Amino acid sequence: MHLFFQPDFSSISALTDDEAFHAAKVLRLREGETVQVTDGQGSWYDAQVRQSTPKRCDLQILKQTTYEPRPYSIEIALAPTKNIDRIEWFVEKATEMGMDKISFFYTKHSERRTIKLDRLQKIAVSAMKQSLQAYLPQLEEVGDFEKWLPKASEATAQKFIAHLPDDVLPPHLLKSALPKQNYLVLIGPEGDFTTKEIELTQQLGFQMAVLGNTRLRTETAALVACQTLHLVNIP
Amino acid sequence: MHLFFQPDFSSISALTDDEAFHAAKVLRLREGETVQVTDGQGSWYDAQVRQSTPKRCDLQILKQTTYEPRPYSIEIALAPTKNIDRIEWFVEKATEMGMDKISFFYTKHSERRTIKLDRLQKIAVSAMKQSLQAYLPQLEEVGDFEKWLPKASEATAQKFIAHLPDDVLPPHLLKSALPKQNYLVLIGPEGDFTTKEIELTQQLGFQMAVLGNTRLRTETAALVACQTLHLVNIP
């Protein structure tokens, strides 16, 4: 059955914009056909087409299913890579695995200073549908790392930075993360964080964590962190 | 420092083929310069250029470091995806994380029946260098799934299949995998295994395992399996 994404579906019972166009022009849905809709916020609907135009597809809700959020949340914050393809696949894969928030910051060593959030958003929507999930991760461009970090660190329960200091190896993320927490993990740029940036994370209480025995690219490290935190929560 | 891959380096002390060409024509290495070489089988060399031509770059070994293999091994066997890009990134990411063997099989529902092993091999070499590892995963096209499986299953200690039966949910891979084993994990094609193929795995003693709470694409499932097995072995 065709699956659509409509964030405000509970209030409008219709598809709009791209989803309405896709329903009318590509799938040529007719009155009486049934479809599925997710609002990306935990609700999943079976619905029947009442009227389909390229601008708006009115639907009648047949059944609503609400999914509880996970008992933990994962936010990964990272510097976009020079080659944006790498970020795009991270967004796709992290959404498939389950992710609550992805934040993009810019550091002193960031090689890229802009991203197209719209495009990443579409990739996340597509991956959410593909993996049949009812929650869409929130994507945000948060700007300058040092300005953003103090605000970001206030709200979070367990805060990590994927960083290897020169002296003592910190514990593996699997060992230092506790189950059922809200996690925030910082992943550095390709040129790594500066000493000053690292110091700021330490002042704000971020724990250093190892992600494995090999040197990982930015986007691989981000995905490994996400998967590790899911596994911390396997009962 | 420049890092090269030369599988038979201990016997020839030289770079050949593409690596020799790259050294001479792209990097324009001169006599006396120092480089690093890995043989992909656990050895890592510091070496000095004696003579560099586009066909052969003779090196003098200054230092040899040998890395112990991990106390476990991971083989992931999967059906190549229709879109080969997805397999290419799996090979890259799995190599970064650490992988011993990737086997490609063809099943009844396989949408793709050929792969370019040479190209995947180059991706693995590049990822091995990028992540500064001394071991290169072995890549193999093993052909028909049902013919290959009985042979493959003989040699392996812990055998899993990522499959969800309709009735009872099997345990998560994190819970059923024991540390310090040789693992073989089967990942199905985009159209899933057939009932007959599943039955064969059960006759041969493969344990069904869950990889997470979401529906994962073939290549994502393969990567999640790899990462999960690494985490089983975190002391």
Q: What's the pLDDT score for residue B235? A: 86
* Whether ipTM exceeds 0.90: yes
The percent of residues above 70 in pLDDT, for chain B, comes to 100
Residues 203-232 of B with CB under 8 A from A: 212-217, 220, 223-224, 227-228, 230-231
Across A168-192, average pLDDT: 94
The percent of residues above 70 in pLDDT, for chain A, comes to 100
Distance in Å, alpha carbon of A147 to nearest chain B alpha carbon: 31
Whole-number mean pLDDT of chain A? 94
3-state secondary structure chain B: CCEEECCCHHHHCEEEHHHHHHHHHHCCCCCCCEEEEECCECEEEEEEEEEECCCEEEEEEEEEEECCCCCCEEEEEECCCCCHHHHHHHHHHHHHHCCCEEEEEECCCCCCCCCCHHHHHHHHHHHHHHCCCCECCEEEEEEEHHHHHHHHHHCCCEEEEECCCCCCCCCEHHHHCCCCCEEEEEECCCCCCCHHHHHHHHHCCCEEEECCCCCCCHHHHHHHHHHHHHHHCCC
> Which among A89, A131, A231 is the nearest to B231, CB-wise?
A231
| B155 pLDDT more than 80 | no
Task: Provide the residue ranges of all domains of chain B, joining segments of one domain with +.
Answer: 3-66, 73-232
For residues A135 and A128, the answer to whether their CB atoms sit within 8 Å is yes
The second-level CATH assignment, the architecture, of B73-232 is 3-Layer(aba) Sandwich (3.40)
For residues B48 and B41, the answer to whether their CB atoms sit within 8 Å is no
Q: What's the pLDDT score for residue B87? A: 96
- Cβ contact, residue pair A216, B131, below 8 Å: yes
State the pLDDT confidence band at A113, using cuts at 50, 70 and 90.
confident
> Which among A93, A214, A231 is the nearest to B97, CB-wise?
A214
Q: What's the pLDDT score for residue A122? A: 96
Rounded to whole angstroms, the Cα distance separating B145 from B143 reads 6
- Cβ contact, residue pair B97, A132, below 8 Å: no
- Cβ contact, residue pair B216, A132, below 8 Å: no
Rounded to whole angstroms, the Cα distance separating B198 from A15 reads 40
Rounded to whole angstroms, the Cα distance separating B166 from B90 reads 28
| A56 pLDDT more than 80 | yes
Residues of chain A in contact with residue B135, where contact means CB-CB under 8 angstroms, are: none
| Local structure of A76: helix, strand or coil | strand
For residues B32 and B49, the answer to whether their CB atoms sit within 8 Å is yes
Distance in Å, alpha carbon of A113 to nearest chain B alpha carbon: 24
Q: What's the pLDDT score for residue A92? A: 97
> Which among B132, B212, B230 is the nearest to A230, CB-wise?
B212
- Lowest-pLDDT range, A14-18, A188-192, B52-56, B72-76? A188-192
Across A160-179, average pLDDT: 92
Residues of chain B in contact with residue A97, where contact means CB-CB under 8 angstroms, are: 212, 214, 216, 220, 224
| B198 pLDDT more than 80 | yes
| A155 pLDDT more than 80 | no
Q: What's the pLDDT score for residue B168? A: 85
Look up the CATH number of domain B3-66: 2.40.240.20
State the pLDDT confidence band at A112, using cuts at 50, 70 and 90.
confident
